[in-house]
A and B are shown apart, each in its own frame.
Chain A
């Protein structure tokens, strides 16, 4: 039987639509229920981050990085300060490094919780979303206790941190981990092995490894395609070589390697690995050490440029910093992981049904603040 083509229809999703995870417009061409082409239009949140950076000093850039990926501000700070410290050849003490790792991994848990929760929400599962937000609140409480802010922290500074840990931080974090660890299994059962969820994600939106690499897709999305690639291990920064953790990859347990379910699977397992890292980091945390010790009085990097990547919850977060020797950056470029993840949408989304496309978009876990910058 030949393929029957109907009349082509152009449909707009967004800019204001709950399933687009921000302000994103998708122009889709449909043939009946089948999508033939997706064209994303973004820039609705564009704030000219990179132009602002050229007009402020190096330390004033940090609050801007917070606002790019507002769901993982700690790791955005982390990437910037790692790049700056490498450019200026600053070595921070161990206490600072451990605190940074603890914060980054807690942030990864919080970000993945929201990522998975919103993914379920896109497919109509409302309950897991509420459960995950409830536990994310507890992490935000820990952050609030540390630096006073719940969303935009400005916590990691070049050469140090804004505050040392408050008293009772270690107990609060351990309490949270003891409470939270069994909950991860619950989430996995509640959402991951739910029949409706499996039906709607397994074998859908398959992203082969070559496609992912060519499109620059990184992080959990790349690992979902079965590629064992994690910058914390493959291009180590900070002190990640001191911890013992695994890199989960998609195995195609419910369908094909690289489908939407695998991307979910990688995220839920990364939460477990992050818990492991936080536990080890708290155990090894040095008691002594001034968090302001290595902070330069005036940040004035030598002439030159650097490109440094770190592993944010969404993938390779790269900062390209060009310095002309003055105290304002000549150019700062952020290589955003969600930007490249969105670019693959047309490639893996075309050919699926209308309802699947929103699921595929949800599985990529994009944040528009970071795409538009």
Chain B
């Protein structure tokens, strides 16, 4: 960069800091202009940092955690008032544990209630907790109110039935198919519950902890000894 360009930039930044943005916007060369704008942001930032107090940040993050705990507790209370006998076991501050029976009704309510308005299902995943217990976890998020919650539903591996929420959030269609594919959780009421990533004739549920590969697949021997890759 030539010297006079630098001079133009530094002059423009100084003027902009005093409130006169026209000098920057009038620079003709596009590249110089964006460089000047970048320099301006830097100068503004340096000002702000010198005023900030580091203890403020700590307080902010603490109050955020408290807010989240409070939100979870109130939501949990609301659910148990509206749908009796749907909360499962002891509650945790980070998630809400539900029984499978009322899940579809609760999901519809979570999505339609004005105050909650969980319009997006961010993630659905299965989890093998061992000892024959499977879990399906849902991360919900509201794009309007910007709050989020994690719902967990436990089922036994012998009878892994959970109501499907595919018609509440359409994204659950493929998410549930994937969880079914990997864990064998049976989503009742799903209109198209097929394997999605694995072939239709694959045996077993790969992400369960007690999974064992099948001996052969279409006459191809599945290698069991994983030599040299650890």
Which A positions have Cβ atoms within 8 angstroms of B?
A: 42-43, 46, 48, 50-51, 55, 178, 181-182, 211, 213-216, 227, 229, 234-235, 242-244, 275-276, 279-280, 283-284, 304-305, 307, 309, 316, 318, 320, 322, 331, 333, 335, 339-340, 343, 347, 372-373
**Interface residue B121 (Cβ < 8 Å from any Cβ of A):** yes
Partner of A234, one of B119, B139, B146, B198: B146
Output the least CB separation between B153 and chain A (Å). Answer: 15
**Interface residue B161 (Cβ < 8 Å from any Cβ of A):** no
A284 vs B46: C-alpha distance when bound (angstroms) = 10
With A43-B197, A213-B119, A331-B127 in contact, is A280–B206 under 8 Å at CB?
Answer: no
Does A320 lie within 8 Å of B125, measured CB to CB?
A: yes
With A43-B198, A229-B143 in contact, is A284–B173 under 8 Å at CB?
Answer: no
Partner of A178, one of B31, B37, B137: B31
Interface size range on B against A: 35 or more
A331 vs B30: C-alpha distance when bound (angstroms) = 49
Contacts of A339 in B (CB 8 A): 174
Partner of A213, one of B120, B125, B230: B120
A93 vs B119: C-alpha distance when bound (angstroms) = 36
**Interface residue B35 (Cβ < 8 Å from any Cβ of A):** yes
For the A-B complex with A214-B171, A318-B122, A320-B125 known, give 13 more contacts whose Cβ atoms are closer than 8 Å: A43-B196, A213-B119, A214-B120, A216-B175, A307-B122, A307-B150, A318-B123, A320-B137, A331-B125, A331-B127, A331-B207, A335-B125, A347-B170
With A318-B122, A320-B123, A343-B174 in contact, is A42–B169 under 8 Å at CB?
Answer: no
Does A283 lie within 8 Å of B34, measured CB to CB?
A: no
Does A214 lie within 8 Å of B127, measured CB to CB?
A: no
Contacts of B121 in A (CB 8 A): 216
Output the least CB separation between B64 and chain A (Å). Answer: 12
With A229-B143, A280-B42 in contact, is A215–B197 under 8 Å at CB?
Answer: no
**Interface residue B199 (Cβ < 8 Å from any Cβ of A):** yes
**Interface residue B69 (Cβ < 8 Å from any Cβ of A):** no
Contacts of A229 in B (CB 8 A): 143
Smallest Cβ-Cβ distance to A279: which chain B residue? B38
Does A181 lie within 8 Å of B122, measured CB to CB?
A: no
Partner of A214, one of B37, B169, B206: B169
Contacts of B195 in A (CB 8 A): 43
Output the least CB separation between B83 and chain A (Å). Answer: 23
**Interface residue B188 (Cβ < 8 Å from any Cβ of A):** no
A276 vs B31: C-alpha distance when bound (angstroms) = 10
A182 vs B42: C-alpha distance when bound (angstroms) = 24
Output the least CB separation between A227 and chain B (Å). Answer: 8
Output the least CB separation between B91 and chain A (Å). Answer: 16
Does A333 lie within 8 Å of B125, measured CB to CB?
A: yes
Output the least CB separation between A161 and chain B (Å). Answer: 23
Contacts of A182 in B (CB 8 A): 30
**Interface residue B41 (Cβ < 8 Å from any Cβ of A):** yes
Contacts of A335 in B (CB 8 A): 122-123, 125
Contacts of B174 in A (CB 8 A): 339-340, 343
A373 vs B181: C-alpha distance when bound (angstroms) = 13
Smallest Cβ-Cβ distance to B119: which chain A residue? A213
Partner of A373, one of B127, B150, B171, B197: B197
A242 vs B44: C-alpha distance when bound (angstroms) = 10
Closest 8 CB pairs of A and B: A216-B171, A43-B197, A333-B125, A335-B123, A214-B170, A279-B38, A343-B174, A280-B38
With A181-B31, A181-B34, A340-B171 in contact, is A50–B207 under 8 Å at CB?
Answer: yes
**Interface residue B45 (Cβ < 8 Å from any Cβ of A):** yes
**Interface residue B157 (Cβ < 8 Å from any Cβ of A):** no
Contacts of A211 in B (CB 8 A): 170
A280 vs B41: C-alpha distance when bound (angstroms) = 8
**Interface residue B182 (Cβ < 8 Å from any Cβ of A):** yes
